[in-house]
């Protein structure tokens, strides 16, 4: 009967403890949604396509997969998630009774006078105990700590996912920059060959007295200007290749190429999503919210520390001075203890610790709201950037075509003696600059789509 009363009392304490849980309950902070993206109405993004469906370049897909598998920062973040998961398990174990054991054997010899002053022990000792320790979570301290650990683990996972988003976006951005540099290098080499031919022709004309030396020197100047661009672009290519290889966990070297930027297939319509969907889609927002939820639970832990704690300790086993009587009824040991401990007067220390946790929570609320506002601004800008770069690229193509025709007309006018070589130089430079700007704008257009997907926080999972 005595044992049943003890068990019943423990059940009552557990039920009462659940009802006595102190500390605030978490709710998502208020965030104003009273705005609209300037690019027009929004749509549902629940079926936002994955990154490998966005571009059909198999080489880019392979590089992105390598980044997700081998990037050292991402591997570090994954290990940090596992560490956080293990910590969560450690904290959760505090909710349950703890079972330990103690084993000891020994002996000694001491005279009677020495024993009177505890100077020694005369005889043998054999001990074997099972020990139970259990803190009854009356005020919810352990439950709050467990919830905080779980929320912190989820925040760590979301931070890893946010890193994933950034790394994939960086890989795509570097790849399109690399293909743009390849294209610009091709433009520079074609321009150099064209200007070499002009120099050859004008040198022959100068040698035969048809043109002045000024025309020949101007042609040489144009040729050297185009030649000087090539090593500059080559340096940038090496730098970009190495940056991509480091991103993939590789040493310096060259990289394979896939489709050119001109051949990339872009999905024209991207569903933007309601602002409220962004709160659950972007991993950086989810991470800061989980951090905030963990901090809310720490308020509960600090509140519970202001109240007394109740714990149970049990000891069951055998003790005897000799092995022959060790396991008998005479050697049985069964002890149980109930402990109550709590603060009485500590000059308001525990109260101030609660206030510390509340102020830390207030700081995280502001950080959460700032993260949300920045996310909305990212999406709004990315939408505008994509639309305007599409328009800009269309105009760059028109500019290149016009510059190409203008150069052909100027060269014809010069050959027939209707204008000076200076007009040809102006048109050559105009075409060279237009072709380079068209290539750069195309790369920016492709990357604006990458940045839009990054801003939306979705579509990067495999």
Please name each of the domains of the chain with its CATH number. Answer: 2-95+137-306+348-456 (1.20.1600.10), 97-136+308-341 (2.20.200.10)
Query: Could you report the per-residue pLDDT of 246-302, keeping only the tens digit for each?
Result: 999 999 999 999 999 999 876 656 655 566 677 778 899 999 999 999 999 999 999
- What single-letter DSSP state applies at residue 48? P
Give the per-residue pLDDT at 27.
84
Structure tokens of 378?
């990212």
Beta bridge partners of 106: 125
Instruction: Name the stretches of the chain with pLDDT < 70.
Output: 1-19, 32-54, 108, 110-111, 113-124, 266-276, 322-329, 458-462
278 and 457 Cβ atoms separated by less than 8 Å: yes
Structure tokens of 48?
């936002």
Give the per-residue pLDDT at 462.
45
How far apart are alpha carbons 392 and 370 in whole angstroms? 32
Q: Is the dihedral of CA 16, 22, 27, 30 positive or negative?
A: positive
Structure tokens of 99?
């079972």
Query: Could you report the per-residue pLDDT of 108-131, keeping only the tens digit for each?
Result: 676 676 666 666 666 667 788 888
What Rg, from alpha-carbon coordinates, does the chain have? 38
Give the per-residue pLDDT at 400.
97
Name the average pLDDT for the chain.
85
How far apart are alpha carbons 418 and 421 in whole angstroms? 10
How far apart are alpha carbons 367 and 179 in whole angstroms? 38
Between strands 123-136 and 98-108, the pairing is antiparallel
CB-hemisphere CA count at 13 Å for 385? 20
Give the per-residue pLDDT at 121.
65
How far apart are alpha carbons 78 and 69 in whole angstroms? 11
Give the per-residue pLDDT at 460.
47
Beta bridge partners of 108: 123
């Amino acid at each position: 009967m005595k044992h049943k009363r003890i068990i019943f009392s423990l059940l009552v304490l557990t039920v009462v403890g659940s009802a006595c849980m102190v500390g605030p309950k978490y709710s998502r902070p208020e965030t104003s949604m009273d705005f609209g993206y300037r690019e027009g109405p929004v749509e549902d993004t629940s079926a936002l396509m994955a990154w490998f469906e966005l571009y059909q370049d198999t080489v880019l897909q392979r590089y992105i997969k390598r980044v997700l598998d081998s990037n050292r920062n991402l591997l570090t973040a994954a290990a940090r998630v596992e560490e956080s998961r293990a910590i969560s398990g450690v904290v959760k174990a505090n909710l349950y009774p703890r079972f330990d054991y103690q084993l000891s054997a020994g002996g000694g010899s001491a005279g009677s006078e020495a024993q009177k002053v505890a100077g020694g022990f005369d005889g043998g000792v054999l001990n074997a105990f099972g020990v139970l320790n259990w803190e009854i979570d009356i005020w919810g301290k352990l439950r709050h700590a467990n919830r905080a650990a779980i929320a912190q683990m989820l925040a760590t996972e979301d931070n890893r996912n946010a890193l994933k988003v950034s790394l994939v976006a960086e890989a795509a951005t570097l790849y399109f920059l690399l293909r743009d540099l390849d294209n610009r290098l091709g433009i520079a080499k074609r321009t150099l060959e064209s200007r070499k031919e002009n120099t050859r022709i004008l040198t022959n004309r100068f040698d035969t007295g048809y043109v002045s030396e000024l025309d020949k020197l101007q042609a040489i100047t144009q040729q050297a200007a185009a030649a000087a661009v090539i090593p500059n672009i080559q340096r940038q290519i090496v730098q970009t290749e190495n940056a991509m290889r480091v991103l993939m966990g590789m040493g310096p070297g060259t990289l394979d190429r896939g489709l050119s930027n001109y051949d990339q297939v872009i999905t024209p319509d991207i569903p933007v999503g309601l602002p409220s969907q962004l709160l659950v889609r972007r991993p950086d927002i989810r991470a800061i919210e989980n951090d905030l939820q963990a901090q809310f639970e720490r308020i509960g832990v600090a509140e519970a520390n202001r109240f007394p704690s109740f714990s149970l300790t049990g000891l069951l086993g055998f003790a005897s001075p000799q092995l022959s009587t060790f396991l008998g009824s005479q050697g049985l040991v069964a002890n149980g203890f109930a402990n109550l401990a709590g603060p009485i007067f500590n000059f308001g220390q525990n109260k101030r610790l609660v206030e510390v946790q509340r102020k830390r929570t207030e700081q995280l609320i502001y950080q959460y709201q700032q993260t949300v506002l920045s996310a909305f601004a990212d999406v709004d800008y990315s939408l505008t950037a994509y639309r305007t770069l599409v328009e800009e690229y269309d105009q760059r193509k028109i500019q290149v075509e016009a510059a190409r025709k203008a150069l052909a007309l100027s060269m014809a006018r010069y050959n027939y003696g209707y204008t000076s070589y200076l007009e040809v130089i102006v048109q050559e430079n105009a075409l060279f600059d237009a072709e380079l700007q068209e290539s750069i704008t195309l790369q920016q257009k492709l990357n604006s789509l990458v940045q839009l997907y990054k801003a939306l926080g979705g579509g990067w999972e495999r």
